[in-house]
Amino acid sequence: MPPPIEVGADKMNPFETALQHRLEQQKAAGRYRRRRSQRDAGVHTRINGRDMLTFCSNDYLGLATHPRVVKALCDGARRHGAGGGASHLVNGHQEIHDRLEMRLAQWTGRERALLFGSGYQANLGVISALMSRGGHVVHDRLNHASLLDGTLLSGARLHRFAHGDTSLAEQTLAGLAPESDRLLVSDGVFSMDGDCADVNALARLAERYDTPLMIDDAHGLGVLGQHGAGTLEAQNMPPDRVPILVGTLGKALGTQGAFVTGSHALIESLIQFARPFIYTTSLSPALASATLAALDLVQTEPERRAHLHRLIQRFRQELATLALPGITLMPSETPIQPLLVGSEQAAMALSESLYEDGILCTAIRPPTVPPGQSRLRVTLSAAHTEADLDRLLTALERCCRTVTS
Ligand code: PMP
């Protein structure tokens, strides 16, 4: 790769100088974000020529590199094209998209599904299509950024209640004018804490206040529930009690993209009014083909989920026994197992120390999490072996003692 072109400070124009100044401020605040290039998406990979074991991917079932998913991607590209070539409403929509939408709707027990290019776009699309100025969107405080951004895009008023506190959500709903447009929104599994929303309590509230309920189950689908149908299945929720469900394809399904699922009227409304669906190139048909293969695996190989849940239980038990200094294991039964560290510097030091031991687990810092709650967001995958978990536990023990001593 050619080296990046460095422009000397004396040659910068005012625009570049202003950008550089902002970057320096970000560095000075200790919040500069950096990417690391790894060789591939496997949990055993290489970074800068070194073997690394990763514990921070959302590829919870290890399907991103599964031979059947990869083969379906290649076959799909040969048969249908690498890209859709246009938006879904022009001529980017293919029969393979219909097949995938139908399978996703069946899997989640709903009438229809609609594909989006990403979960971020899906959340922007749903909220901006359903809500407008004068409306109210009521959020759990820890909802994903894309749900907040969707609300901003819609022009509706954003309300946030303390994480998991449905009595505060109720206070907000009770204070809204009965005739106002409203939407109650929550993650199914919270992306940075790993805990699950109490979907039954939210549905009761939504019904009491005649408010549609939207659940973003990006991290629950594929992982939770007997058939992998997510947080709702795990909590025995009939589909009709959650009229709007969002799922992503880039996590447990191992590919890329997202879907919204619900009634025929919901999906037709999104096709008419969701600008992040209308004005963008369709999901790659090759990805649709790969996702169909991934969904087959999710539905026919429950042993992947069983293995993953065994790893989760063992990780929690052993970490509780080790009682490592400087970290608190947060309550979570999902593959997201955050280790609360506190300060940004301590979280970075622990992450760096693990890196030296050949383990990649990135530190999560403000503004992604509140100040003072920096953490290592450990994620487990069905692609990890018991031996991989041993390595993580040994490294964590050594690094926690070194960093806090
Ligand atoms: N919703 C949640 C809860 C997420 O955690 C994420 C991504 N981390 C998204 C939506 C966005 O999904 P995507 O990566 O497909 O844009």
Per-residue model confidence (pLDDT) at position 402: 85
56, 116, 120: residue to mutate for ligand 1 pocket, most atoms within 8 A of CB:
120
Is the Cβ–Cβ distance between 124 and 314 less than 8 Å? no
The CATH number given to 35-64+302-404 is 3.90.1150.10
Is the CB–ligand 1 distance for residue 191 below 6 Å? yes
In the chain, ranges of CATH 3.90.1150.10 domains: 35-64+302-404
Looking from the CA of residue 256, the nearest atom of ligand 1 is: 15
| Strand 112-116 relative to strand 258-262, pairing | antiparallel
Minimum-distance ligand 1 atom for the alpha carbon of 123? 10
Question: From the CA of 194, how far away is ligand 1's center (Å)?
Answer: 13
How many Å lie between the centroid of ligand 1 and the Cα of residue 191? Answer: 8
Could you identify the atom of ligand 1 that is nearest to the CA of residue 58?
8
- Residue 249 CA: nearest ligand 1 atom is 15
User: Do 209 and 174 touch, CB atoms closer than 8 A?
Assistant: yes
pLDDT of residue 9: 67
Which residue has its alpha carbon closest to ligand 1 atom 8? 191
The amino acid that residue 201 corresponds to is A
104, 223, 248: which to mutate for ligand 1, most atoms within 8 A of CB? 248
Which residues make Cβ contacts (< 8 Å) with residue 181, sequence separation at least 6? 131, 132, 134, 135, 136, 156
Binding site as annotated, residues for substrate: 33, 144, 368
Among protein residues, the one with the nearest Cα to ligand 1's atom 12 is: 119
Query: How would DSSP label each residue in 266-277?
Result: HHHHHHHH-HHH
- Residues making up the annotated binding site for pyridoxal 5'-phosphate are 119-120, 191, 219, 248
Instruction: Tell me the CA–centroid distance for residue 281 and ligand 1, in Å.
Output: 19
Q: Over the stretch 60-96, which tens digit does the pLDDT of each residue have?
A: 999 999 999 999 999 999 999 999 999 999 999 999 9
**CATH architecture, range 67-300:** 3-Layer(aba) Sandwich (3.40)
State in Å: Cα 9 to ligand 1 middle: 37
Q: pTM of this prediction?
A: 0.95
Specify the residue with its C-alpha closest to ligand 1, atom 10.
119
Cβ 312 vs Cβ 61: under 8 Å: no
- Residue 160 · residue 134 · CB < 8 Å: no
Atom of ligand 1 nearest to the CA of 187: 3
Cα 131 to Cα 134: distance, rounded to the nearest angstrom = 8
Would the CB of 186 count as within 6 Å of ligand 1?
no
The phi, psi pair for 337, rounded to 5°, reads -125, 80
**Which residues are part of a known binding site?**
33, 119-120, 144, 191, 219, 248, 368
Residues of the chain with CATH 3.40.640.10: 67-300
Number of H helices, E strands in the chain: 14, 14
**CA 120 to ligand 1: nearest atom:** 16
Low-confidence ranges of the chain (pLDDT < 50): none
With a 6 A CB cut-off, is 388 part of the ligand 1 pocket? no
Q: How far is the CA of 283 from the centre of ligand 1 (A)?
A: 16
Q: Using a 6 Å cutoff on CB, does residue 258 contact ligand 1?
A: yes
**Counting atoms of ligand 1 from 1, which one is nearest the CA of 143?**
3
